[in-house]
A and B are shown apart, each in its own frame.
Chain A
Amino acid sequence: MSVGDYIRGSQIWKSIFRHPAPVDRRNRVVVMLTNFFLHLHPVSIKQQGIALSYTWCMGGITFFLFLVETITGVLLMFYYRPTLQFAFNDILALRDVTTLGIMREIHRWAAHAMVITVWLHMYRVFLTGSYKPPREFNWVIGVLLLVLTLLLSFTGYLLPWDQLAIWAITVGSNMARATPFLGYEGPGAQLLNIGGFDLITNGSDARFLLLGGRFVGEGTLNRFYILHCVAIPLVVALLIAIHFWRVRKDGGISQPL
């Protein structure tokens, strides 16, 4: 009996995998049904539904990039401190001295790539008409995931705390100042006052809410850090779960119904 057979025959192995290796038809079905990570998939699928020229694989790559971002992001969180005193220097050290500082490069490039793959995934879903009934609402969830992907990238852009970061966030968040009714330079904001007392000022408008201050400063760094590392990823994870679940419930990967 070889070592491999001994291990596969042991009680520990069997308690984890519950079935023999997926080398015959029966066990190839069973593996899909009993493995937690694989049970996202159906057991069998239409051949053309997974043809590369049809799906482009972009949704799957997006999900994989999200996992890459999570793993590299957690590693970076061990190292990076989101304060004015340390933020820039920690990134500088990641570049120049830290072992595996390449995690920052991978994190940033995977983030850019994820924005692009989300667009291409939507592009493919649109061009194959895969948003049509019964999949309408899953497209809506997909649009929400697009917004959250952009927000993840936007909040992460600030964290290196260099010139590129704060000015990109300044330019981007200046728009919020002009929000109708809710920005202090937005149309209609003047109407929101009680007895001549303005409710919407530069200390209470949409931009202030976003930045946690009147300009991009320490409060913004903390706020964006929490949004980037905790708040948005949690929502994204939930929406991804719903998105995948609905793909299965709505008849699997897009094909003529």
Chain B
Amino acid sequence: MLEHHPDLTASVIYGLGWLYLLLFLMNTLWVWRSYHHDGEVKMFGQGVPVASFWALYAAMLGMVATAHLTGSDNPQMFLLRMPDAFKSAVDSVSGPVSFFSLSVGLFVAVILLREWIVKPTVGWILLNASLIFLALSMTDYDFRQIVGKPDNVPIVAMLFICAFFTWLSFACAVENDQRKAAGKPLYSQEKNEKILVWPDLVYSELICMVLVTALLVAWGIVLQAPLEEPASSAKTPNPSKAPWYFLGLQEMLVYYDPWMAGVVLPSMILVGLMAIPYIDFNKLGNGYYTFNERKFAISTFLFGFLPLWVAMIVLGTFLRGPNWNFFGPYEFWDVHKLELLNNVNVSEWFWYKVMNTKMPVAPAGSDPGTQAGYILLREWLGLLLTFAYLAVLPPLMAVTIFRKFFVKMGFIRFMVLSNLILFMASLPIKMVLRWSFNLKYIVAIPEWFFNI
């Protein structure tokens, strides 16, 4: 492939220098913390402070920062960059399937390994690893084009912020759960006297407002708000994307038609959010962080928020290019990339493959009732499957896996809960069906705009 653009320029190297300098300073502080908290390890028969390893790492970062800030005569020859072998390996394995599997895998790992992940040292290593990954990736031209778009910067920030707060909430939850298990009072019940709002709360609010204002002004100075060419209804950009917070919904258009992805499923998300307080019958965990006391509620909510909302926004923003094709993080957004779409409907599979015959078609000129009858006959299997999913599964769940829930919740609450769960699950189910069987529609009635 032709190299149109340089991966590295002097200004990119210089900018990354500041990032490495920040990492160096962060880790210098960490050395100090480690010296006071982490103790020693036995090496060569004598104790070596753990902090000395962090000091070595920080020193290395300091040298890397210096190398970037002092620059190079020939940016193209600069050595510190993401290796091409790594980039092409990542591009070749990345796709919707591996991305979704990775995000779900991470979600499961965070929940299962929570007691290990919440250790400060583990959290710190993960933060360092992700920042260094980001810094190295910025040495790639195509990666920089997408991540560096002004409107995409908040999404990168959001990723780190979401990861941090998930980590923090698990740290509090694990601590509370361990205290409960040991029969001790919650963290929040110790040192919990009443204090006056002036000055303790009013001043922290003031400080917070000052910091947010400073951040916004600095952000506004460093990064200009995007303004493209004047609007023209004749020139459709490719890809055309909705505002970033709706890109998870736009990504759902790959699997569902607009009436589902754009109207029904978003409405179900909102109805489901509003219904949460009325279907969560668990009285525990009111006003403190916990995981063990609310395993089902928290896992379900986190699954909806992290892999199905945040990760889908990341996918829609960074990895979907022209024609909504998937592109790896280091891949050039080629308008001419072709992806074969050879998906089949349940009805096509049933009539062509199983029955080995033609689809039933109403005779030309027949009245609307007859036509509707033929359409329903054509799609009978998909309609039956959909009906079974929404009407047969809830009672089946009530007597099996959700038996305890059903007993405690009563009929109406349980039906609301089970239908919400089924709607939420309908997205990953359709994804898996698409990837494994090339399934297009379960029910395909384009005559009525009714495709599921």
Contacts and interface: CB of A to CB of B under 8 A. Distances in A.
Given A104-B225, A164-B228, A48 B201 contact: no
Given A95-B224, A130-B287, A177-B258, A31 B277 contact: no
Interface of B is mostly: helix
Closest 3 CB pairs of A and B: A175-B262, A105-B220, A136-B277
Given A120-B161, A163-B230, A153 B194 contact: no
A54 B161 CA distance: 15
Nearest to B220: A105
A42 B197 CA distance: 7
B201 A50 contact: yes
Contacts of B277: 131-133, 135-137, 139-140
A229 to B, nearest CB: 18
B278 A46 contact: no
A139 B276 contact: yes
A146 B189 CA distance: 31
Contacts of B154: 109, 112-113, 116
B264 interface: yes
B236 interface: yes
Given A50-B200, A61-B208, A175-B263, A109 B225 contact: yes
A215 interface: yes
Given A45-B197, A47-B200, 20 more contacts: A25-B196, A45-B194, A52-B204, A109-B225, A112-B151, A113-B154, A123-B305, A128-B287, A130-B287, A136-B278, A140-B277, A162-B230, A162-B231, A168-B243, A171-B240, A175-B263, A176-B263, A180-B259, A254-B286, A257-B286
Interface of A: 22, 25, 28-29, 31-32, 38, 41-48, 50-54, 56-57, 60-61, 64-65, 68, 88, 91-92, 95, 102, 104-106, 108-110, 112-113, 115-116, 119-120, 122-124, 126-133, 135-137, 139-140, 143, 146-147, 150, 153-154, 157, 160-168, 170-172, 174-180, 183, 185-190, 215-217, 254-257
Contact of B240 (A167, A185, A217, A254): A167
B243 A157 contact: yes
B208 A57 contact: yes
Nearest to A131: B277
B449 A129 contact: no
B216 interface: yes
B449 A178 contact: yes
Interface string B312-352: 00000000000000000000000000000000000000000
B285 interface: yes
B220 to A, nearest CB: 3
Contact of A189 (B172, B226, B273, B449): B449
Contacts of B249: 175
A133 B169 CA distance: 21
Contacts of A109: 154, 216, 219-220, 223, 225
A3 to B, nearest CB: 24
Interface residues of B, number: 91
A124 B165 contact: yes
Contacts of B110: none
A52 to B, nearest CB: 8
14 contacts: A28-B199, A43-B197, A44-B194, A105-B223, A116-B157, A116-B161, A136-B278, A139-B276, A164-B226, A178-B259, A185-B259, A186-B259, A187-B449, A189-B449
Contacts of A60: 205, 208
A215 B231 CA distance: 13
Nearest to B257: A178
B408 interface: no
B276 A187 contact: no
A154 B243 contact: yes
A117 to B, nearest CB: 9
Nearest to B227: A162
A170 B229 CA distance: 16
A45 B201 CA distance: 9
B274 A140 contact: yes
Contacts of B12: none
Contact of A64 (B169, B196, B212, B262): B212
A165 B235 CA distance: 13
Interface of B: 151, 154, 157-158, 161-162, 165, 168-169, 172-173, 186-189, 191-202, 204-205, 208-209, 212-213, 216-217, 219-221, 223-233, 235-237, 240-246, 249-250, 257-259, 261-264, 270, 273-274, 276-278, 280, 283-290, 294, 298, 301, 305, 445, 448-450
Given A38-B202, A129-B287, A171-B241, A162 B273 contact: no
B225 A256 contact: no
Given A112-B151, A140-B274, A168 B286 contact: no
Contacts of B263: 175-176, 178-180, 183, 186
Contacts of B223: 105, 109
Given A162-B227, A183-B259, A44 B289 contact: no
Nearest to A185: B449
A54 B289 CA distance: 8
Nearest to A127: B169
Given A31-B198, A168-B243, A187-B448, A65 B212 contact: yes
A215 B198 CA distance: 53
B195 to A, nearest CB: 5
A107 to B, nearest CB: 8
Given A88-B230, A105-B225, A190-B448, A131 B276 contact: yes
B374 to A, nearest CB: 16
B208 A187 contact: no
Contact of A32 (B189, B197, B213, B284): B197
A256 B288 contact: yes
Contacts of A178: 257-259, 262-263, 449
A17 B286 CA distance: 38
Contacts of B187: 48
Contacts of A254: 286-287
Contact of B241 (A28, A124, A133, A168): A168
A216 to B, nearest CB: 7
Contacts of B216: 68, 106, 109-110, 113
B318 to A, nearest CB: 16
Contacts of B258: 174-175, 177-178, 185
